[in-house]
Amino acid sequence: MKHRISALFLGTALALAAGGDAFAQDKTIKIGVLTDNSGLYSDLGGAGSTLAAQMAIEDSGMQAKGWKIDLISADHQNKPDIATTIARQWIDVEKVDVLMDVLNSGVALAVNNVVKEKNSIMINTGAATSDLTNAQCSPNTIHWVYDTYMLANSTGQALVKAGGDTWYFLTADYAFGAALERDTTAVILKSGGKVLGTVKHPLNSSDFSSFLLQAQASKAKIVGMANAGGDTTNTIKQASEFGIVAGGQKLAGLLLFITDVHSLGLKVAQGLSFTETFYWDLNDGTRAFSKRFSDRMKNKAQPSMVQAGVYSGLIHYFKTLDAMSGNPHDGAKVVAKMKELPTDDPLFGKGSIRVDGRKIHPAYLFEVKKPEESKAPWDYYKLIGTTPGDQAFRPLSESTCALVKK
């Protein structure tokens, strides 16, 4: 018995020594894309996010430098409980280093806690809630593409300035809708506008006529849609049916993606203005990437900003690990290093990551083209305004994030 125990100790010591040695040059990375693969958000994330991750791996040149990179993906079905179960399993059993995409604010906030508890990394490119870098900020999370504060700030302010000073909200009844409504309301009040009322609808509704009638009866100048994906496209389609726009009210899509515009068709979507941080036709860099991306997509779709964010976030993650010349498998440590290094990629341009985990880059206000203005498939947007990165997001002085020292 004694022999066996001492043999065991010896074995463990040897294994630890070997492990320690391997640690110094550990060049393995495992990426998990956790997204909606089958539900209402699967066009703006889904398989396209996994493809974007694959392209980032190929373009990074990491494998040529001796890195071994694995990529897995899973469907969280927009359910926080399923998402946290997958996240735990990925981190504990599969040894996933970084979780990408994680769209849906309810899911993201739940996974945020798991990632922090397990000292892993989440580069969130899909969820909207600004709480991820504010009240619930974490040393393990980076919020890459957009957030509710930025959307409210850009779209909301532009609309109030253009005379839309009374609002009625149609809000998706979960974390995201609540955050978007809250942040937009703050902007409206600050700019001298008024919110006349709000109606909360269940996620994934198919009929919005009751809600639209209530918005119509409110006589508000702006009907703000604090929802996303299929909910937004159905709202827009049915609003035109009920003569909301013809009656003099204006629809404000607070969060719209290019996949939504594609699905609506320009005839219905024309004239909508909203904010994104990426568009395939912005410059040569975005066009080159998007061409390669859409060639590999099954339905030849252009990348959404969420999918572009997966690519951009991973490129920076790889750059950081390369600079550290090894993967320490220590989430907080890698994220801290990512915040030190400036970001630069062809999709989002030069930028940085703030101490609260907020990725900083410009926000673009777009207007959807009229059918006759569109020259090619997916030629949908006109750029009508740009907010520089340092003004687009919540200033650190207003932050309640515990990582921000005041």
Partner 1 sequence: MQALYAQLLVGLINGSFYALLSLGLAVIFGMLNIINFAHGALYMMGAFCAYFLLSLTGLGYWPALIVAPIVVGIFGMILERTMLQWLAGLDHLYGLLLTFGIALIVQGVFQNYFGSSGLPYAIPDELKGGMNLGFMFLPIYRGWVVIFSLVVCIATWYLIERTRLGAYLRAATENPTLVRAFGVNVPRMITLTYGLGVGLAALAGVLSAPINQVRPLMGADLIIVVFAVVVIGGMGSIMGSIITGFALGVIEGLTKYFYPEASNTVVFVLMVLVLLVKPTGLTGRAA
Q: Are the beta carbons of 139 and 332 closer than 8 angstroms?
A: yes
How far is residue 173's CA from residue 4's CA, in Å, rounded to a whole number? 60
Site string for partner 1, 205-224 (x = CB under 8 A): xxx-xxx-xx-xx-------
User: What does the alpha-carbon distance between residue 231 and residue 170 come to, in Å, rounded to a whole number?
Assistant: 10
Least spacing, CB of residue 272 vs partner 1, in Å = 14
Q: How far is the CB of 33 from partner 1 (least distance, A)?
A: 17
> Alpha carbon of 222 to those of 195, 269, 369, 395: distances in Å?
9, 16, 20, 26
Residue of 100, 187, 268, 392 interacting with partner 1 (CB under 8 A): 268
Binding test (CB under 8 A) with partner 1, winner from 35, 130, 136, 259: 259
Contact with partner 1 (CB under 8 A) among 140, 234, 286, 327: 234
Residues 297-356 that bind partner 1 (CB under 8 A): 298-299, 301
Nearer to partner 1, 57 or 103 (CB): 103
CB 345 within 8 A of CB 89: no
Is residue 101 a contact residue for partner 1 (CB under 8 A)?
Answer: no
Residues constituting the chain: 406
Distance CA 65, CA 323 (A): 12
**130-169 footprint of partner 1 as x/- string (CB under 8 A):** ----------------------------------------
Tell me the angle at which helices 305-323 and 46-60 cross, rounded to the nearest 10 degrees: 30
Please, which residue, 237 or 333, has the CB nearer to partner 1?
237
Closest to 239 in 3D by CA, of 275, 215, 205, 219: 215
Per-residue mark of binding to partner 1, 41-80 (x: CB under 8 A) = xxxx-x----------------------------------
**Token pair for residue 52?**
């974007």
Q: Which stretch binds partner 1 (CB under 8 A): 14-22, 93-101, 260-268, 373-381?
A: 260-268
Among 143, 262, 339, 354, contact with partner 1 (rule: CB under 8 A): 262
Between 125 and 259, whose beta carbon lies closer to partner 1? 259
d(CA 186, CA 156): 10
Where does this chain touch partner 1 (CB under 8 A) — which range of 57-65, 85-93, 234-242, 348-356? 234-242
In the list 113, 238, 352, 374, the residue contacting partner 1 (rule: CB under 8 A) is 238
Least gap, CB of 243 to partner 1 (angstroms): 5
Token look-up 């060049």 returns 27
Spatial distance between the Cα atoms of 156 and 231, rounded to a whole number of angstroms: 19
- Note the helical H segments in 61-102: 80-89
Please report which helix (H) or strand (E) contains residue 185, including its range.
helix 175-190
Residue among 239, 237, 234 nearest 204 (CA): 234
User: What CA–CA distance (Å, rounded) separates 404 from 399?
Assistant: 7
38, 63, 89, 283: which one binds partner 1 (CB under 8 A): 38
What does the binding site for partner 1 look like in residue numbers (CB under 8 A)? 38-44, 46, 173, 199-202, 204-207, 209-211, 213-214, 216-217, 229-230, 233-234, 237-238, 241-243, 247, 259-260, 262-265, 267-268, 298-299, 301
